[in-house]
Amino acid sequence: MRARPASTATRSAVVSLLALAVLAGCEERQSVLAPGGADARVLGELFWVMLAGAVVLWLAINGLFFYVMNINRAALSKRFANGLIVGGGIGLPVVVLTALLVYGLSIMPDQRAPGDGLTLRVTGEQWWWRVEYWPDGATAPIIAANEIRLPAGSRSEIVLNAARVIHSFWIPALGGKMDMFPGRETRMSLEPEVPGQYRGQCAEFCGASHALMAFEVVVMEPAAFDDWLAAQAEPAAPPDSAAGERGQALFAREGCGACHTVRGTDARGAVGPDLTHVGERHSIGAGTLGTTLEDFAAWVAHAGDIKPEVEMPAYSHLSRDEQTDLAQYLKGLK
């Protein structure tokens, strides 16, 4: 048996590695092929059905070409040739595409179903997410930022808006995306089914830090979610260390309260994210950094370097010890 050329073997190895890399991402928390909710599951089924239809058309059309070019190379009668063209080139695609269209349209009403429980209002800022929870009967929202938590097993209503430019709200593992427009409300609903941690992303180019405008999504059991939401309505816990107390004094001295709110303190700014419970979130900077003490300190000192054109000023003039104290205070806000 003749050995394959080295270049052919190399190409095959590269293609195989790329295929494995692509398949390895199918189970990640931001994958549309690893659904964690009813909406994403339906959209996943739609993908596979559409893929199957495309494969049928591809095999049928290329099969016809293979037949007339390799199997039956003799001249065809006019009637038979017309039959191949009309049946294979027109009839089959019309039937397959019509079936796919009818199937796709039949599932669209479910994707537009109204929520039957919690209501959230999410506003796309530059470049972060303002989140307001409105439980049934609430007269005022419970405000958070850059992280969304949802109860499993119920359909939550999500009202979307944008502050300055167009954004798009997308949690691939839970459902489809919805665009967000300044001055115009759009809405969607999601029904998460599998508790866990997922990742959302702005899916519409919105400026310099578009790629750094993500958010964490935590789906919780209903009882755990109710406890968490009740805790979110409470003011921030006071510092429990000397470093945290020094950080709180720095927070006030540097005027951070002009942009940020920390409920239970004099900080009541509404320009930037609410920081009342920032210490228990899974990321800071809208999914840009983690929540270690080093991450908080780096964000305080170099926000503009980490996230281009972010509106938060850098506090690099603070000493390393002051940056650490301020980070200690922020991490302790729970």
Q: Residue 61: how many CA atoms within 13 Å on its side-chain side?
A: 13
Amino acid at 330: L
As given in the structure block, the two tokens for residue 256 are 């951070």
Return the pLDDT at 68.
77
Return the pLDDT at 17.
56
> How many helices (H) does the chain have, and how many strands (E)?
8, 10
Q: Is the CB of residue 220 less than 8 Å from the CB of residue 185?
A: no
Return the pLDDT at 253.
95
Helical axes 320-331 vs 242-253, angle rounded to 10°: 100
Which residue reads 């397959």 in tokens?
A: 96
Return the pLDDT at 264.
93
Return the pLDDT at 75.
77
Q: Is the CB of residue 326 less than 8 Å from the CB of residue 239?
A: no
pLDDT tens for the chain, 334 residues: list them. 455 555 555 665 555 556 545 555 555 788 888 899 999 999 999 999 999 999 988 888 888 888 778 887 777 788 877 887 788 778 888 888 899 899 888 887 777 788 888 999 999 999 999 999 998 888 899 999 999 999 999 999 999 999 999 999 999 999 999 999 999 999 999 999 999 999 999 999 999 999 999 999 999 999 999 999 999 999 999 999 999 999 999 999 999 999 999 999 999 999 999 999 999 999 999 999 999 999 999 999 999 999 999 999 999 999 999 999 999 999 999 8
Return the pLDDT at 198.
96
Kind of pairing between the strands at 196-202 and 214-220? antiparallel
Return the pLDDT at 26.
55
Return the pLDDT at 174.
95
Q: pTM for this one?
A: 0.82
Distance CA 202, CA 179 (A): 9
> What secondary structure letter does DSSP report for 329?
H
> What secondary structure letter does DSSP report for 258?
G
Q: Is the CB of residue 29 less than 8 Å from the CB of residue 214?
A: no
